[in-house]
Amino acid sequence: MNNRLQFVIVGFLVFMACETNVEDDLNSQQDCIQVEEYYTENIKPILESSCTACHSGSGSSGGLSLDNYTAAYSAVKSGDVLDRIQRESNEPGFMPSGGQKLSAENISLIQTFFEMKCQ
Ligand code: HEC
């Protein structure tokens, strides 16, 4: 194989590798946008009606704020939110504290949010 041909082949492979990376980045950016949209549409309203009375701002209960995307995302991703909302209302640690268990529908919306991927 002559040098020039090798050069062309290596160049082509490098080009392909870059193309793939750019595509991956775009895909994961797209995934992240969808996760945030899902939050705004489905999760934010649940948290605002049942949780942010206590979990908001700097004096949040348990030091946990659930009033913005970043904080809510990491609290749900860690499994902490699902753990608390899946308890029965007479069990210790049940959330929303002193309130009624979330509907099965709302719990499953939060479960879906927990399972969504965005790297
Ligand atoms: C009436 C006030 C109140 C409401 C409403 C409430 N919480 Fe809480 N939450 C607390 C208090 C107080 C603590 C700290 C004590 C504890 O850990 O149980 C806490 C702790 C937590 C924790 C553990 C935080 C940690 O890092 O240890 C999670 C997760 C949580 N709440 C989620 C929720 C979710 C989700 C909702 C809504 C569905 C909610 N809470 C509604 C008062 C509340």
Domain annotation covers residue 111: yes
29 Cβ contact list (under 8 Å, min separation 6): none
Domain annotation covers residue 107: yes
Q: Which residues line ligand 1 (CB under 6 A)?
A: 50-51, 53-55, 61-62, 64, 75, 80-81, 84-85, 93, 95-99, 102
Domain annotation covers residue 22: no
- Domain that includes residue 38, residue range: 29-115
User: Can you give the pTM of this predicted structure?
Assistant: 0.84
Per-residue pLDDT, 118:
81
CA atoms within 13 A on the CB side of 107: 15
Domain annotation covers residue 4: no
DSSP assigned state of 93: T
Domain annotation covers residue 5: no
Q: Which tokens is 26 given? A: 């775009």
Task: Yes or no: say if 15 and 105 are a contact pair by the CB < 8 Å rule.
Answer: no
Q: Which tokens is 54 given? A: 């206590």
Give pLDDT tens digits along the chain (119 positions): 577 777 777 766 666 676 667 777 777 777 899 999 999 999 999 999 999 999 999 899 999 999 999 999 999 999 999 999 999 999 999 999 999 999 999 999 999 999 998 87
Domain annotation covers residue 67: yes
Q: What residue's CA is closest to ligand 1, atom 25?
A: 62
Cα(70)–Cα(97) distance, integer angstroms: 22
Per-residue pLDDT, 110:
98
Domain count for the chain: 1
Domain annotation covers residue 86: yes
Q: What residue's CA is closest to ligand 1, atom 27?
A: 62
